[in-house]
Amino acid sequence: MTRILPILLAAVLLIGGGAYYMSQNNGSVPGVSIAEAQDAEADADVELAPDMVMGDEDAPVTVIEYASFTCPHCGNFHQTVFQELKKNYIDTGKVKFIHREVYFDRFGLWAGMIARCGGEDKYFGMTGMIYDGMEDWIGDGNPATIISNLRKLGRTAGMTDEQMDACLQNEAMAESMVAAYQKNAAEDEINATPSFVIDGKTYSNMSYDEFAKLIDEKLGE
């Protein structure tokens, strides 16, 4: 489990300012950093990014996951526990699943922007690829390499380079995403990833068996 340290997070947000990435086709192109997007917290006019939802809207149990695209524990959860959870509870109409992104760094923010770039229809397919290939797309941590790798994932999902460039440079989009993260995480008192809010109560990372037992209890099964 990766813990959110407020002081460290604040430092990361400041360091992120002025970040630039290399586009494969356009040379040096300014990208959106978390520091720039963080200004949204003080702007009451910023519209919060919508939740990304999977499953029946009227399902009897709601599971909200808080996760970072650069958190190995989150990647492991999606590669293992989530697949069984989806098959047995989400796809069967028992659970409404909400995925909320946590941003430790600009790389996680960029991944989130690419994931949302294709719209709701492609979002969960993109998040699956991002989590499954985390080590590959992060690579050596070079920003230019990371952007290039994320763009490859986006092209696999059917997005164009022009479409992804527009998303990565969309400051309003980044502001809305960071503002939503800050507001939701504060309200749910999230201090680590992955964390889960199940019918209003917060839980730490758990195995599939623990998840299933908890949901079954809430379903009265």
Q: What average pLDDT does the structure give for the chain?
A: 83
What band does 28 get if pLDDT is binned at 50, 70 and 90?
very low
| pLDDT, position 176 | 92
Q: If you write DSSP's letter for every residue of 8-20 in order, what string do you get?
A: HHHHHHHHTTT-E
Question: Structure tokens of 123?
Answer: 């979002």
> Model confidence over 40-91: pLDDT tens digits?
444 557 889 999 999 999 999 999 999 999 999 999 999 999 999 999 999 9
Task: For the chain, give every domain's residue range.
Answer: 2-219
Given a contact cutoff of 8 angstroms between Cβ atoms, the answer to whether 126 and 154 are in contact is: yes
| pLDDT, position 117 | 93
CA 212 to chain centre: 23
Residue keyed to tokens 């499954």: 132
The DSSP element (H or E) to which 79 belongs, if any, is helix 72-79
Given a contact cutoff of 8 angstroms between Cβ atoms, the answer to whether 120 and 85 are in contact is: no
* Candidate from 27-31, 134-138, 176-180 with smallest mean pLDDT: 27-31
- Secondary-structure class of domain 2-219 per CATH: alpha beta
Distance between CA 148 and CA 119 in Å, rounded?
20
Distance between CA 57 and CA 61 in Å, rounded?
10
What's the whole-model pTM score? 0.83
